[in-house]
Structure 1
């Protein structure tokens, strides 16, 4: 994860260098240097803060484990610890993160991909930072630590109390919803839109299910991660939309003259 963060910071810095000299194309999004400093800076700041808090998270102690404190909805997750599901969730997260690359297939999005890359970097940085901050403040033990078959010699670490919320699910949702929102903004009349949104909704849901089956998270962790990631992935592009250029004044001829309409 540290490597991903370093790459994200490098990409963000590189894109900011080009941003000031780029002209704005005819796409649906408009970037400004000041605005991107705010969004990008917020993403970088939360990521740094989250990473710092995670590094200060104390190790999990056996005395911290209280199964009675797990609500009845989440308790089902304590029965799961599938390594196969855990590994598969890594792959679905990676697949979700790669979805925006499909935008290179379209001419309009390919021509605007530098701009899209900036928005995607902001999205993923902000999502990662907020996810880490929440994990570090909730300190919730992961479900697998309650497994009766867990060897007594198992050494519990700080990451074993990072259950809430699901970072895999939030990351998958952020990338998937970003992809669907951007696709819809560039190609509003495309017949592929229902399939794109279906993919965007389904990928983080599958990832979340696998995280529960893998004993890594409780159902509520997954729901919270889904909502966080989907919100960030959806609204970062929305906040960069160009203002409507449609004229407020419209007119049309009638049989006896001219009809004027002004939209407030």
Structure 2
């Protein structure tokens, strides 16, 4: 079957990388919707409970595997997804962009981070899923469970900061480093939330998928704005 001329012209104008990112965003959102559906139906309980209990000493749900040293490390990691650390980091990058004269990028970044935070709070309020009650909580919590706010905001903040900083460096290796480090930090925060017993594993998966989709969407919008001269141009290698 011959591809219509309009579709052919459209695909010729869109870069391959952009198409790939759009597909990843669509896949992440599809995964999030699937998790929401399974969570509402109650089909995730066995999966969540099995993973949560696998991180506990057999026969003693109050004792996490690894001992006090691992618990301390996990509390340190979970703090990387807290509002204090993320705010300080975001303000630091905003100051860096302003010092480099990238005012449009700084404003865009601030809107992207705040937008992700509002999205996270909105979904928590909408679903109001209770926190796990199978094991003691390793840190204090006060909000609903789904999606994991720490996991989502770690993905949103670290990945968004990474893609914005990567735009300012033309070296491919540096760009890969920024994005890889952001992904590792987001993964570590999510794992720590499950280990500390304050989130179901599906909460974390939902936070990761939605956060990654948001960060990649931010990148796509940045590219679109750049081509229209509304934001600072990306540095080429």
Q: TM-score range by the shorter chain?
A: 0.5 to 0.7
Distance verdict in 2 for CA 1:92–1:163, change over 3 Å? closer
Partner of 2:20: none
Instruction: Spell out, residue by residue over 1:38-57, the C-alpha distance to the aligned partner (whole angstroms, 9 max, x if none).
Output: xxxxxxxxxxxxxxxxxxxx
Instruction: Spell out, residue by residue over 1:139-192, the C-alpha distance to the aligned partner (whole angstroms, 9 max, x if none).
Output: 21212x223x79xxxxxx9x36x1110001111111111112112222233431
Query: SS where residue 188 of structure 1 aligns?
Result: coil
Whether contact under 8 Å (2:44, 2:202) holds in the other structure is no
1:242 counterpart = 2:226 = yes
Partner of 1:126: 115
For structure 1, list consecutive stretches of 5 or more residues without a partner in the other structure: 1-67, 151-156, 246-264
Considering only CA atoms, is the larger Rg found in Structure 1 or Structure 2? 1
- Aligned equivalents of 2:44 and 2:95: distance in 1? 45
Distance verdict in 2 for CA 1:193–1:69, change over 3 Å? closer
Partner of 2:168: 186
1:200 counterpart = 2:182 = yes
1:233 counterpart = 2:208 = no
1:77 counterpart = 2:52 = yes
1:210 counterpart = 2:185 = no
CA RMSD in angstroms, aligned pairs only: 3.3
Pairwise CA distance, 1:218? 1.4
Pairwise CA distance, 1:235? 2.1
Correspondent of 1:101 among 92, 115, 128 = 92
Whether contact under 8 Å (1:173, 1:230) holds in the other structure is yes
Pairwise CA distance, 1:102? 5.2
Pairwise CA distance, 1:194? 1.6
Instruction: Spell out, residue by residue over 1:3-54, the C-alpha distance to the aligned partner (whole angstroms, 9 max, x if none).
Output: xxxxxxxxxxxxxxxxxxxxxxxxxxxxxxxxxxxxxxxxxxxxxxxxxxxx
Pairwise CA distance, 1:137? 2.0
- Aligned equivalents of 1:101 and 1:138: distance in 2? 33
- Report the count of equivalent residues: 167
Per residue, is there more helix in 1 or in 2? 2
Pairwise CA distance, 1:86? 4.1
Normalised TM-score (structure 2): 0.58
